[in-house]
Structure 1
Amino acid sequence: MSSAPDELLIFKLLGPIEVIGAQEQVQVPPGRQQTILGALLLEANRVVSMDQLIDLVWEHTPPSTARAQIQICVSALRREFSRVGVDALIETRQPGYLLRVAGDRIDTFLFERRVADSDAAVRQGRLEEAATTLRSALALWRGPALGGAAATLHNKALRLDEKRLSVLENCIDIELLLGRHHALIGELQSMVTEHPLRERPRGQLMLALYRSGRQSEALDVYRAGRDLFIEHLGLEPSDQLRKLETAILTDDEVLRLDQEKTVPVTVQNVVSPHQLPATIADFIGRQDVVARMLSVLSGDHMSMPVVNISGKAGIGKSALAVHVAHRVATERYPDGQLYCDLRGTQAQSATPAEVLGRFLSALGAVGSTLPDGVDERADMYRSMLANRRVLVVLDDAGSESQVHQLLPGSPTCGVIVTSRARLTGLAGSHLVDVDFMDSDDALELLGRIIGTQRLQSEPVAAAALVDVVGGLPLALRIIGARLAARTHWSLASMVGRLADERHRLDELVHGDMVVRASLSLTYDGLEPDTCRVMRLMSLLEAESLPVWTASALTDDERNRGFDLLERLVDAQLLDVVGSDVTGLPRYRFHDLIRLFAKEQLAGHEEPDAQLASVERVAGGWLAMAEQAHQRLYGGDFTVLHGTGRRWQPHGPYVDQVLQDPLGWLESERPNICAAVLQAADAGLDELAWDLAITLVTLFETRSYLDDWQQTHERALDATRRAGNKRGTAALLCSLGSLHHSQRRMEAARTALEPALELFTELDDSHGLALVRRNLGLLEYNEGRPELATRIFEQSLTGFKRVGDVVGQAYVVSQLAQLSLDRGEHELAVEQLRGALGMCREISSPRVEAQVLYRLGGAMLVQGRYEQAQQLITSVLGMVQRSGDTVGESYALHSLGLIHGRMRMFAEAGRLLRRAIRLCEENLDRVGAARIRLDLAQLVSQRGETFHAIAIVEQAMMTFQELRLALWESKALAVLEKIAADNPLPATVTSNGGAR
C-alpha cells in the first residue's frame, strides 16, 4: 500500500482548515485568507486565476481594490508559512497563483490515494486489505469538509462530503461481503438517521439486520423509509430497494453469504466501454502540447484532471484529443474510455441527457433502470464511475453548460474536452490552445499524404502550399487528398489554383472535407451583431488591430467593440496577438478566416456601408495622429490639415495611449500607413492626404523614408484624381522635403515648385510658408545663401501671419545658421535664443532640441567647448528619451566634433563611429558620409594617414553616386588637407593608389 503516514500531513481540509508547520500550527484567520488558502489547496499544484479568487471572496460585487486585497492576503500567507516552516510555496503564475506542495502532504490527496489503493485491492480480490485501507481513508475526516470556510466554497465542501459518504457506503459494502454485519448495525443506524432519504445505507442496514437474524426489524426499516419517501418526495422507493424487501420477505438465498453471488442492491455490474475512434496514422507534430496533456492526464491528482483543447475550425483538435486518449488509455484508464461528439457547433447539438443516456448504457445500465431526468442520470453516471479509472472524451463542445453534467466526480477519471471556444468556466481545467502547424510539420504531413518523393521534387511549390493556407491542418489534408487523387497534377499547379483569393475557399474542398463549411458552423452560431463586426473587420488590412476599430466600423457610441471582438475570440474566429499600453488586446484574422469573412461581407453589406466603415476607421486614425502631433509640437504647428471627417475613439483610451505620442505612432505605423493607402484607393482623398502629411512627424524622426514616399505617392494619386489642389500641393511640399532629406535635389525642386504655384493660386498663407521653408533649405544646401536668406524671410513672414510659432522658430534657427556661416556669431546666438524662447513658450520639445543643437554649434564655432558640450549633451538626452534616432545621430556627430576640438581623440572617434552606425541604421547614407569626413580628419590627426584616406574615399563614393557635387568638392578638400598635413613617401591618388 502506497499511502503516506498521517503525521506527514501539512494541510487538512477534511474538517476545519488546518495548517501544520515545522514549529507550530498556523492560525489562518477566517474570511478572505481562509477562502484563498482553501481555493489554492483544492487546486494544489495548479494555477488558480486572480478572477477565480476574486469571485470566491466577493462573488459578484468585488471592490475596485479587489486585486490588491488578494495580493495582500497571499503575501500574509507566505509570511506565515515562512515563519513557522511550512513546506509549501505560493508562486505567482499568470493569470494568478499556484500553491506548490507534495501531494501526500494534503489530506484530500491522501484520502483519494487510499481510495484508489482500495479499488486496486478489490480488483485483485484482497477484500480485507481494501476495507482496512478505506477505513484509514475515512479516519482522515474530522468533521464537515472545509469547516468554517466562506460560503463561496460551500459547493466544493459539499462535493467532498458527498464523496466521503459514497466511500463509506463502498466500505460497508465490502465489510458486508466479509461478514461483518453485526458490527455494522450501529453505524448504519446512525447513517440512516442522519440521511433518512438516502437509499443505499437504508438498504445496507436492511441487509445487515437480516443477516443478523432480525428480519422483522429489517422490514420495519424499509417501511419507515417508504413512508418518508412518499411524504417528502412523493415517490415510492427504487426498484432495487423494493427487490431487497421482497428478497427479505421470501428469505431469498441470494442474500446469504454462503452463496457466491453479489448483492443486487449494493454491487453494480459495470462493464468497461472502449468507444474511442481510431487514432490518425499520420498524426504529426504537437510534441509540446502532447507532452503537456500526457503529464496532466497521467499524473497523480487530488481532483479529476480535465484538459480543454481549444482552437479554430480545422486546426486538428479532435485528432489531437483522440491521439492523446489512445496514448493514456491502456495504462492509466484501464476501466474504459467513453467518447461522444457533442456537435456543439451544429444547430442540433447533443443534450446532456442524451449523452448521459448513451454513456450509462455503455457502462451496463439496462434501459429499464435509466432515470428520465438529467440530474438523476448525472447522479447515476457519477456513481457508476466512482473510484473507477475511465477516460471521457467530449468532442466539439459548444459551452460549459453542455459539459458540466458529463464530468465524472472521481479524481480517478480523466476528461478531454475539445471546443472552438475556451471553456474557462470549467473549474480547474487545463486549457490547451492548439495553434497552426509550423512549416516543418506541415510539410511532413503533406509528404505523408502525397509521398515524400513528390514533395521533394517541387520544394518551392510545397512551401508555397503550406504558406498559402497558413498551416491549417484541415486545409493541408484537403490539398493533400486532391493531389493524391490526381497524380498528374503538379504541386505548382495547385499553388496556381489557390493564388486567387476570391476562389481560394472554393478550391479547399475534397469529399466531406470543406474549409468553408467548417467555418460556417461556427459563424452561423454567432449573434447578428457579432457576425457583422466580423464581416466589417475583414475590410481592414493590418498586422493587428486595436479594440476601438470595431466600434468605428460599426459606428458604435456605446463602446461595445471589445465585447463583440471577445465573442469572436471565444469562437476562435479571431486571434489575440498582444496588447497595447492600456492592457487592451490587439486582434488579427487568420488569412483563410479573413477570406471567409470577406465572402460574408460581400453578401451582407452594401458598398456604401462598407465605404462609411472605412471612412470612420481612417477618421479615427487621423484624430489620434493629429493629437499625437499636437503633443509633440505643442500644437497644430508646421502641418496642414484638410476637411476629412474625424471619428473620435473613447477619450480616456486616447489620453492613455498618447502619453508617449511618438511611441504610439511607432507602434501603429503599419496600421496608419495601411489606412492611408486604403483611404486613397477608396477615393477618400481628404482623409488620405491629411493622414499622410500628419505621419511625417514619425517618418522624419525615425527615417521611415519608404513609408513616407509610398503613402504620399498613393495619396497624391487620389488628390489628383479628385482635382483636390490643396491636398496635391501639401503632398508635393512634403515630398519635396523627403527628396531634400535624401539629397535628391533635382527631385526636390520638381516637387516644390509646382507646390509653390498651387499654394499661390489658392492664396494659402500656411502652405506658402511651409513650401518656402523647404525651398530655402534647398537653396542653402545647393550653395546659394543669399537666395536662401530671402526665401527664409518670406517664409517667416507667412508663419507669423498664421501664428505658427514652431514654424517661426525653425526658420529663425535656419537664419541663425546663415549668420554663423557669415561669421556673425553674436547675431546667430541672439537669433537662436529667440527661437528657443518661442519653443519653450508653447512647449515644443522636439523643435527645442533642434534649436539647442544649433546653439551648441554656435558655441563650438566660437571655441566655447565646455558650453557646447553641455548643450549638446542635454540635446542627446532629449532625443534619446523621445526616440528621435535622426536627432540622436546629429547630437552624437556634434559631440564627436567637440571632443575632437578638446583633443579627447579616443572619445571623439567613438562618438563619431556611433553616429555613423546610427545614420546607416536610419538609411541616411549622406549623413554617414558627411560624418566620415570629420572622422577622417580626426584619424589623420592621430597619424593614421592611409586609414584616413580610405575613410574619405568611402564618403566620396556616396557623394559621387548621389551626384552631390558640393559635398564631393568638400571631400576632395579634406583629402588635400590630409595629404598636406601628412606628406607621404609617394604621391597618393584620389583612389588611394600609389604611383
Structure 2
Amino acid sequence: MTLSVLGSLEIYIGGRKIALTPQRRALLATLAIEANHVVSIDRLLDEIWGEAPSQTAAGRVRTLVSDVRMALGAVGPKVIVTRNSGYLLDLEHTELDVTAFTALTQEANLAHSQGRAEAAIELFDEALDLWRGEPLADLRGPLGISETQRLLGVRRAAIEARAEIKLARGQHVDVIAEMTSLAGEYPLSERPHALLMHALHACGRPAEALRTYRDLHSRFVAELGIEPSLQLRELHQKLLADDLVPGPAEWHRGARLWRRLCLLPPDIGDFIGRSAEIKSITAAWKKRASSPAIVAISGFPGVGKTTLALHVAHQSRSRFADGQLYAHLHGASAAPREPAEVLAEMLSSLGVDGAHIPDGAEERAALFRDRIADREVLIVLDDARDEAQVEPLLPGTPNCGILITSRGPLSGLPGTQRVALEVPSEDEACDLLRSAIGQERISREPQAAREILQRCGRLPLAVRIAGARLAARPSWPLRQLAARLSDDSTRLDELVARRMDLRASIQLSYDMLSAADRRAFRLIGVASLDTLTDWSITALLGVPAREADRSVETLVAVGLMTAHDIDAAGQPRYQCHNLIRDFAIDVADETASQQELREAMARLVLAATARVRAATSAMPLPLIPMDLDAMPRTEPSRADRSWLGAERANLTALVLSAARTGNVRAAADLVAWTAPFLLASGHYNEATHMLDAVHLAATHAGDSATGTRMGLLRLQRVEDERVAAGAGRMHVKSGTHRGSEVG
C-alpha cells in the first residue's frame, strides 16, 4: 500500500486508487503522520471532529477504523494495529511519501558533502517532485496544523539547499526563478532573499538585487519594527560596493543563515519501559552549565542503546528548537567512521557548500562549532567506538545537547553523564514479547513465555528476535521455541530473524579484541560465573594482576562485560550476560584446547580454596577430622564474613563445576573449607548439595581416598548439632538438622 500525504491524502493498493470519505481520510492521514507510533483515541477525536466531538465520537472512531480496514481489503488488518490506548499505522506494510522524501533529501545532502553536486540536484528534484500541494490537506486539528508547518519548513529547506548547489554551479537563472517564488511565499525569511540577491548579482542585475534588499528592509521595519540581521546588512553593503564574490560562500561563512532540520531516524513504534533512564537523560538537558550537556548510554550488544537514544531524542525535539543532527559512527564495526568524514556530512546538512568545507579534520571541527554556536541543537552520535572518535564532533557552546551510544562507558569524556543500560525488568521484557505476538498467545502458554524470556536473558534484541520468529509462524506453540532455546550449545543459532542476528552483533565486539583479550574473554565465559572479581579473573587468566586489569578494561570498553557493582566486601564485580557467555563458550570450543580450559579452571579453584581457607581458619567446625578440644574458639572477622558472603554463590558454583569436570580432589579441598561457613550461616542445603556432588564424582572417578573423605564429612554433617551442643559453638536452634541427614 502507498500513502501520499504531501497534498490531499491519496491511497493506492496494487496501483489502484482507493476512495474514502472525508472522516476516514482524516483518520488515515492522522495515523500516517504518526506512523509506527500509537495515536490515542483522544488525539483522533481532535483531528477528525475538532475541539467539540459528540458524545458518541469515541465509538465512531472504532467504526471508522473498521470501515477503513474493510476499504483497504486484505492489507487493512495488517497496516492498522490496535493498541490498548489507540491505533498504530505499521509502516512495514506501507510506503509513505513523507518517508521517501526524508530519505531522498538525506541522500541528497550526503551526495553534496561528497562533492557529487549533479547527483545531489537530481535527488532533491526527485524528493520535491513528491509534493502535490499543501501537505495534510485533509487535517485541520492541532496535530495536522503543526505537522503541516513542519513539513512546509522541510520542503523550503530542500528548495534552498538545491538552490545553493545550483548557484555554486552557475545555474543563476534557475535560482532566480525558484528564490523569487520562495521569497514571495516567505516575505520575512532572510535566506531565500539572500540567495536571490546573490543570483541577481551574478547575472549582472545588481539594481534588482539592491531592490530585493530594500523591499525586505521595508517589510522588516513596518511589520516587525526591527532591522534585518547584521549579516544581511553586510551583504547589502557589499552589493553597494560591488564587492561580492559570486556564489553563496560569503553568506555561509558570515551570515549564519540557519535552517531547522531533523535528521533523526524514526522512533520505534513499540517502545517499552526505561522510564528511569529517560528521566535521567532528560534531566541532564535542563541543567544550565558552561558546557554542552553530554549523555553517554552504554551496555551489552543488543540491550537497546540506540532504541532508547532515538526515543529520547524524538521526545526532546521541542527542547532543541534549532534541530537535531544524527550520525552513525559504526564504532563496533571493522571500519569505524573517521571524524573528518562525519563532520563533512554534518556541515553539508547544515547548508555549507561542499566547495567550502575544509580538508582537515581540525578545520572542519572549528567550522562545525562555528555553525552551531549558541544554537539549541541535539546531536545524536550512535555507536561510538571511543573518546577519540567523539571529541572532534562535540560543539563548544552550552545550549547544545549530545547523546552518545557506545558499547563501553566512554569514561574518558569529562563532564559526561553516563547511563549504564541493564536488561529490562521481567514485566517490561514480557511487554516487548507481547507487542510482537499478542496477549492471547502469552495467555495460552504463560510458562513457555517465561522460559523464552529467561533463556533470552531478557536482552531486548534477543526478545525481539524471538518475537519476530513467533510472529512469522502464528500457529507455532511457544513451548517449541522455548525448548529450542534450552540448549546452550545451539541457543545463539536460534536467535536469528531476518536482519536481526544476535551472534553477529556480539561478533563485532569480539573482532575488535587483541589475541590476549580474546583469550581473556573466552576463559571468563567458560568459567560460567554470574559475576567475577579482580582476584578470580587474575587466577583464571594466569597472568599478572596488571595485565588482567587491562583485559578487563578492554572487555568493558567493547561491551562484552560490565562493571556490575561493589559487593559487601568492597570488591568491584564484573558481569557477562548469559548469551554473551554462550558466545564465549562457542569460540572457546573452536579455538582453545581442552587442556587450556581445564588449567584455567584449576587455577581458579586453587585460588578460591586458598582464600576460603584464610577466611575460615578461625571458624569452628572445619570439616576435617581433628581433636574437638583443639578446635579454635574465635569468630571470623567481619571482613572475612563479608568476603565469604559476597563469594558464596561463586564458591558453590566452583565446587560443582570442578566436580563435574573431573577435578575431584580440587573440589574436595574447596568444599572442606567452604561447607563450614555455609553450615554456620544457615545454608544447609547448599552444603549438603556440594558434599553429595563431590562424593558422587569421587565414586565415579574411582578415587576411594577422596570418596572416603567426603563420606566422613557427610557423617560429620549429620553430627554437627551434637558437636554444636557439646562445644557451644554452633549458634543454631536445636533440632535444625534432624530429619535432614544424608544417607
Question: TM-score normalised by the shorter chain: which range applies?
Answer: 0.5 to 0.7
Quickly say closer, same or farther: Cα 1:682–1:276, change in 2 above 3 A.
same
1:693 to 666, 672, 675: 672
In structure 2, the residue matched to 1:305 is 293
Q: How far apart in 1 are the matches of 2:450 and 2:360?
A: 54
CA contact (8 A) 2:506 2:580 kept: yes
2:506 counterpart (509, 519, 524): 519
> Of the candidates 643, 651, 662, which is equivalent to residue 664 of structure 1?
643
Deviation at 1:570, TM superposition (A): 2.6
Query: Secondary structure of 2:559's match?
Result: coil
1:496 aligned residue: 483
Question: Which residue pairs with 1:740 in the alignment?
Answer: 719
1:924 maps to: 736
Summarize the Cα distance change of 1:686–1:635 in structure 2 as closer, same or farther, 3 Å threshold. Answer: closer
Shift of the alpha carbon at 1:556?
A: 1.2
Match of residue 771 from structure 1? none
Which residues in structure 2 correspond to 1:177-192 (within 5 Å)? none
**Deviation, structure 1 residue 684:** 1.7
What is the deviation of 1:567?
A: 2.2
Say which SS state the counterpart of residue 574 (structure 2) adopts. Answer: strand
The answer to whether the aligner puts 1:296 opposite 2:284 as a matched pair is: yes
Aligned to 1:714: 693
- Please state if 1:268 is matched with 2:247: no
Query: Aligned equivalents of 1:264 and 1:178: distance in 2?
Result: 20
Structure 2 counterpart of 1:285: 273
3-state DSSP class of the match of 2:344? helix
* Contact 1:342-1:350 at 8 Å conserved across structures: yes
Distance 1:403 1:520, change over 3 A: same
* 1:368 maps to which of 351, 355, 362: 355
Counterparts in 2 of 1:625 and 1:332: CA distance versus 1, 3 Å: closer
Which amino acid in 2 is paired with 1:374? A
For residue 461 of structure 1, the aligned residue among 448, 454, 457 is 448
Residue equivalent to 1:540? 527
Q: Find the aligned partners of 1:658 and 1:573 in 2 and give their Cα distance.
A: 35
Q: In the alignment, is the contact (CA less than 8 A) between 1:309 and 1:417 conserved in 2?
A: yes
646, 653, 656: which one aligns with 1:677: 656
Deviations 1:205-230 (A, max 9, x none): xx79x97xxxxxxxxxxxxxxxxxxx
Q: Deviations over 1:874-901 (max 9, x none)?
A: xxxxx7xxxxxx32x4xxxxxxxxxxxx
SS in 2 for 1:340: strand
Choose the corresponding residue for 2:581, options 586, 589, 594.
Answer: 594
Match of 1:56 in 2: none
Q: What is the distance in 1 between the residues matched to 2:419 and 2:586? A: 30
Contact 2:622 2:673 in 1 (8 A): no
Question: 2: distance between equivalents of 1:608 and 1:481?
Answer: 40
1:417 and 1:352 map into 2 onto residues whose CA distance is 14
Query: Which residue does 1:340 correspond to in 2?
Result: 327
Q: Which residue of 2 aligns with 1:910?
A: none
Pair 1:432–1:300, CA change in 2 (3 A): same
Q: Residue in 1 aligned with 2:116?
A: none
Provide the C-alpha distance between the structure 1 equivalents of 2:251 and 2:586, rounded to a whole number of angstroms: 64
Q: By how many angstroms is 1:342 displaced?
A: 0.3
Please state if 1:403 is matched with 2:390. yes
| 2:549 matched residue in structure 1 | 562
Superposed, 1:217-256 pairs within 5 Å as: 251-252=241-242
Query: What is the Cα deviation at residue 393 of structure 1?
Result: 0.8
The answer for the alignment partner of 2:405 in structure 1 is 418
Structure 2: distance between partners of 1:511 and 1:287: 29
The amino acid that maps onto 2:686 is D
Q: Which amino acid aligns with 1:418?
A: T
Q: Which residue is 1:724 aligned to?
A: 703
Q: Which has the higher contact order (CA 8 A, sep 6+)?
A: 2
Alpha carbons 1:689, 1:731 under 8 Å: kept: yes
Q: Secondary structure at the match of 1:396?
A: strand
TM-score by length of 1: 0.48
Deviation sequence 1:279-335 (CA, Å, 0-9, x none): 111111111111222222255444211111111111111111111111111x22222
1:179, 1:594 → 2: CA distance? 63
**1:418 Cα deviation from its structure 2 partner:** 0.7
Distance 1:547 1:558 in 2: 8
SS at match of 1:332: coil
The answer to whether the 8 A contact 2:624-2:672 is kept is no
Task: Determine if contact 2:530/2:575 at 8 Å carries over to the other structure.
Answer: yes
Equivalent residue letter for 1:739:
V
The aligned amino acid for 1:523 is Y
Distance 1:577 1:179 in 2: 56
**Structure 2: which 5+ runs fail to align?**
1-185, 191-225, 628-635
Length-normalised TM-score, structure 2: 0.63
- Partners of 1:401 and 1:543 in 2: CA distance: 32
* Per-residue deviation, 1:370: 0.8
Distance 1:558 1:925 in 2: 43
Amino acid of the structure 1 residue aligned with 2:391:
H
Cα contact 1:639–1:694 (8 A) shared by 2: no
How many residue pairs get aligned? The number is: 510
Give yes or no for the alignment of 1:451 onto 2:438.
yes
Whether the 8 Å contact between 2:503 and 2:583 is mirrored in structure 1 is: yes
Change in 2 beyond 3 A, CA 1:311/1:663:
closer
Evaluate the alpha carbon distance shift between residue 502 and residue 179 of structure 1 in structure 2; reply closer, same or farther with a 3 A threshold.
Answer: closer
Compared CA separation, residues 719 and 362, structure 1 to 2 (3 A): same
| In 2, Cα distance between equivalents of 1:568 and 1:277 | 29
Q: Structure 1: how far apart are the matches of 2:643 and 2:286?
A: 47
Percent of aligned positions with the same letter in both sequences?
A: 32
One-letter amino acid of the counterpart of residue 420, structure 1:
R
Q: Which residue of 2 aligns with 1:327?
A: 315
Residue deviations 1:138-175 (CA, integer Å, cap 9, x gap): xxxxxxxxxxxxxxxxxxxxxxxxxxxxxxxxxxxxxx
User: Partner amino acid for 1:252?
Assistant: D
Matched residue, 2:71:
none
CA distance in 2, matches of 1:609, 1:436: 32
- 1:603 is aligned to 2:590: yes
CA contact (8 A) 1:393 1:417 kept: yes
* Residues 818-866 of structure 1, C-alpha deviations (whole Å, 9 max, x = no match): xxxxxxxxxxxxxxxxxxxxxxxxxxxxxxxx3xx5xxxxxxxxxxxxx
2-side partners of 1:445 and 1:629: how far apart? 46
The secondary structure found in structure 2 opposite 1:394 is: strand
SS at match of 1:338: strand
Which stretch has the larger CA shift, 694-703 or 305-314? 694-703
Quickly say closer, same or farther: Cα 1:488–1:636, change in 2 above 3 A.
closer
Name the SS for the 2:276 alignment partner. helix
Q: 1:558 to 1:671 in 2, by over 3 A?
A: closer
CA drift of 1:373 comes to: 0.5
1:395 to 1:634, Cα distance in 2 relative to 1, 3 A: same
Q: Following the alignment from structure 1 to structure 2, what is the Cα–Cα distance between the partners of residues 126 and 275?
A: 22
| Bigger helix fraction | 1
Alpha-carbon separation, structure 2, partners of 1:263 and 1:584: 59
Closer, same or farther in 2 for the Cα pair 1:444/1:253, shift >3 Å?
A: same
Report if the CA contact (8 A) 1:308-1:419 is conserved: yes
In structure 2, the residue matched to 1:171 is none
Q: Structure 1: which 5+ runs fail to align?
A: 1-122, 128-176, 182-199, 212-243, 256-260, 641-656, 744-776, 778-809, 815-849, 854-878, 880-885, 890-917, 927-957, 963-995
Q: 1:333 & 1:668 partners in 2: Cα distance? A: 48
Q: 1:335 to 1:406 in 2, by over 3 A?
A: same
Per the alignment, residue 471 of structure 1 pairs with 458
> Which has the larger Rg?
1
The alpha-carbon distance between structure 1 residues 669 and 389, as it changes in their structure 2 partners (threshold 3 A), is: closer
